[in-house]
Amino acid sequence: MMVRMDESLVAWLDAHADSLDADTLHADALPARLAQAGLFAAAVPEGEGGDGRALSAAADIVAGLAEHSLSAAFVYWAQRAVIACLLASPNRDQVRRLLPDLLHGRLAGAPGLSNAMKFLGGLDRLHITGTAAPDGMRLNGTVAWATNVRRQGFVAAIAVGGEHGDNPAVFALPHDARGVVREPDLDLLALRGTNTAALRLDEVVLDASWEIHPQARIFLPSIRPVFVGLQCGLGLGLARASLRAARAALDGRPSVLAGDIDALDAEIAACRQTLCAGLDDGSLRERPRDLLTLRLRMVDIAAAAVALELQALGGRALLRARSGGYARRAREAAFLAVVTPTVAHLKGDLARLA
């Protein structure tokens, strides 16, 4: 059963979706709105302060938010990804210290692990190095992209390696550690209300209490199915929104597009069922090829739905006053192809698995 979205949150997202995509005016208010609706506690064990539902509930929330604003869905995904890191961490003191503030939106969670995921796939070097110091680990480097780095307070999940990237570990990086610099927001073409910026680390010292896991090569593959699985909801929700807009544009008139719309709608439902079942029974964790294929198909489904919306709208799609959000959804669909894992990254992984 799909998760029912809070009506007041939906109304707020519909009213501010274009702003969340085009500017930063409501960026800081967004996480608080999501927290007020109780969304961050979804699919978190009751013993950890959550609602105890299955992981598919979080995937449905990602999709439900993406129907109204991909910016909101992506911020939710970022927060939920950091929560997933903590839930899988053996550092229980850190979990008890950080998790309540993350669940209630008092602290923003930023997954700064894109570089680490590429590193593990042999596509990049680690951009953060750590050296032992008397008071802990001394870190230097950069996180080129981090989403949800809210200025009022955030914690970022990062991977740290030796000088040559050896023996990487995963740390939680607090925003107020000395030497952490949050750069200005990236000048994005879309999703500008997501507090997405680069981080610079200059002689940042973290002690062992900030370590999420000592072995990134073991930890990151174990949580990747959660990261990637929840991302699938981004495309499914966006596609549903575009198909709804396409049907509205046709306004009940007979159209050669109707069959294509119905067929894609059925595929969305089938993909959701496969995703939710695989997340809940753990089978997608055991079948990485199936998960990556589903994630890749999510990008194609979103692009196909936006294309159908364009065809249904015709020339109205190019009129600002009559496009009904089409331009935003077209930008959102383009974003899905480049968020880590990118389409190129996914194709490379699938080729290696084959």
User: Can you give the pLDDT at residue 324?
Assistant: 79
Confidence band for 167, pLDDT divided at 50, 70 and 90: confident
Mean pLDDT rounded to a whole number for the chain: 94
User: Can you give the pLDDT at residue 134?
Assistant: 87
pLDDT at 30 over 80: yes
pLDDT at 56 over 60: yes
**Euclidean distance between CA atoms 170 and 161, whole angstroms:** 9
pLDDT at 59 over 90: yes
Pick 80 or 121 by higher pLDDT: 80
State the CB neighbour count (10 A cutoff) for residue 86: 24
Q: What pLDDT digit, counting tens, does each position of 229-248 carry? A: 999 999 999 999 999 999 99
pLDDT at 54 over 70: yes
User: Can you give the pLDDT at residue 347?
Assistant: 92
User: Can you give the pLDDT at residue 162?
Assistant: 83
Confidence band for 197, pLDDT divided at 50, 70 and 90: very high
**Euclidean distance between CA atoms 338 and 55, whole angstroms:** 25
- Parallel/antiparallel/unpaired status of strands 136-146 and 128-133: antiparallel
Evaluate whether 37 touches 6 at the Cβ level (below 8 Å). Answer: yes
Q: Is 194 exposed, middle or buried (0-12, 13-18, 19+ CB in 10 A)?
A: buried
pLDDT at 1 over 60: no
Q: What pLDDT digit, counting tens, does each position of 303-351 carry? A: 999 999 999 999 898 887 777 799 999 999 999 999 989 999 899 989 9
**Average of per-residue pLDDT across 6-21:** 96
User: Can you give the pLDDT at residue 2?
Assistant: 64
Q: Tell me the whole-structure pTM to 2 decimals.
A: 0.96
**Average of per-residue pLDDT across 283-289:** 92
Q: What pLDDT digit, counting tens, does each position of 61-120 carry? A: 999 999 999 999 999 999 999 999 999 999 999 999 999 999 999 999 999 999 998 888
Query: What are the φ and ψ backbone dihedral angles of 166, each rounded to 5 degrees?
Result: -80, 150
Q: For the CA atoms of 270, 191, 184, 170, what is the dihedral angle to 10 degrees? A: 0
49-to-44, 52, 105, 111, 344 alpha-carbon distances in Å: 7, 9, 13, 21, 38
DSSP 3-state of 23: coil
Evaluate whether 185 touches 197 at the Cβ level (below 8 Å). Answer: yes
From 295, 291, 286, 276, select the one nearest 54 (Cα to Cα).
276
Q: What percent of the chain has pLDDT over 90?
A: 85
**Euclidean distance between CA atoms 165 and 224, whole angstroms:** 20
**Euclidean distance between CA atoms 301 and 237, whole angstroms:** 10
301-to-87, 88, 207, 317 alpha-carbon distances in Å: 31, 31, 44, 19
pLDDT at 191 over 90: yes
34-38, 119-123, 233-237: range with lowest mean pLDDT: 119-123
